[in-house]
Amino acid sequence: CLTMGELVHLALRVGYLGDAFHGSQIQPDVITVQGELQRVLRSLGWWKDDAHTMILGSRTDAGVNVRRNGGLLTLERSLYEKIGDRKLVRAMADRLPDHLAVLDATEVSPGWNPRLADHRVYRYRLEGMEGWWAEDPERFQRHLDLFVGTHDVRNFARMEEGKNPMRTVLSATPWTVGGRTVGFEIVGHSFLWNQVRRIAMAVHSLELGRLTYDEVHEALHRPEVAVDFGVAPAEWLVLWDVVWEDLPVTPSPERTMTWQAPPTRAEGAERTMRRRWSAAASSEIEALLHHEWSALGRLHWS
């Protein structure tokens, strides 16, 4: 029986494959990331719904893959002092499916708020969308640069009541794998719901000539004129990292990877070929994330 006493506040960092969950936040009657984490803690006898807290730092929709997210977890201090961070992570990992990785746990102050991260990093694999090409690196960077800086992004987000539409993007750069541009990486303090996926759709349309530079520029600089350029699929989005200044940052090792380029019309690509390539491309992202978790989740020996 778990006796209630002083609580310890922990920053718990996790990664997961998006297609296994109906999003990150707990919901009734469906499998979610938060629900699975709480289920495992409950099964270990370490969690009571009315006594302990779990808050994830970044909400993700169903289908979005996550290299590293994080959140606040409170547990009994007496329990944590007995098991330590290593046993906590190990015990949870032993009971979780492979598509949900607990990476580390770090004690933080009682006032620590996981939603007040220093910045967030997303990557989007644009070549997962049909017709993609990026033959001109300078033009691609010019398209990405449109979104850098502080803008009212209501035309590039699903606005929720009470949310401030002003957002700052710190950088947007090509994502290259094996010397090939596969998409982009975008860094910002915080993003609104669907913001990165709407940016991805606009960039994809710019590259294909379906939108002009001026149309996207106007949508950013005249937000009071509503436009809808569409939302890119969730499956090619990766929440790469959520960074807090007071938590250790583990650099990603350089990886030698070969990702197969999508089939082209010149190669006779049609719907069936494209679907098979998409299945393989999804597996490539999953393999990358498992390698990343292996590096990020190294536990110190004690």
- Domain layout of the chain by residue ranges: 7-115, 119-258
Higher pLDDT, 249 or 60: 60
Q: Please give the structure tokens belonging to residue 292.
A: 């990343």
How much is the pTM?
Answer: 0.94
Region 194-210: what's the mean pLDDT?
A: 97
Instruction: Flag the least confident range among 19-23, 67-71, 255-259.
Output: 255-259
Region 116-122: what's the mean pLDDT?
A: 96
Q: Which CATH architecture has domain 119-258?
A: 2-Layer Sandwich (3.30)
- Could you tell me if 220 and 146 are in contact, meaning their C-beta atoms sit under 8 angstroms apart? yes
DSSP string, 97-112: -TTEEEEEEEE--TT-
Q: Give the separation between CA 257 and CA 51, rounded to whole angstroms.
A: 45
pLDDT digits 0-9 by tens, 211-229 = 999 999 999 999 999 999 9
pLDDT of the residue at 201: 98
pLDDT digits 0-9 by tens, 40-54 = 999 999 998 888 999
pLDDT of the residue at 302: 44
Could you confirm whether domain 7-115 is CATH 3.30.70.580? yes
pLDDT digits 0-9 by tens, 239-277 = 999 999 988 877 777 777 889 999 876 666 678 888 999
Task: Give percent of the chain with pLDDT exceeding 90.
Answer: 75
Mean pLDDT, rounded, of the chain: 92
**Catalytic residue set:** 61
pLDDT of the residue at 4: 63
Q: Which of 91, 155, 109 shows the shortest CA–CA distance to 11?
A: 109
Largest CA distance in the chain: 67
Residue 236 has pLDDT above 50, yes or no: yes
Helical ranges in the chain per DSSP H: 33-43, 77-95, 137-145, 195-207, 213-221, 271-296
pLDDT digits 0-9 by tens, 152-193 = 999 999 888 888 999 999 999 999 998 899 999 999 999 999
Residue 1 has pLDDT above 60, yes or no: no
SS3 assignment, position 211: coil
pLDDT of the residue at 2: 53
Residue 301 has pLDDT above 50, yes or no: no
Give the confidence band of 300 by pLDDT, cuts at 50, 70, 90.
low
Task: Give percent of the chain with pLDDT exceeding 70.
Answer: 95
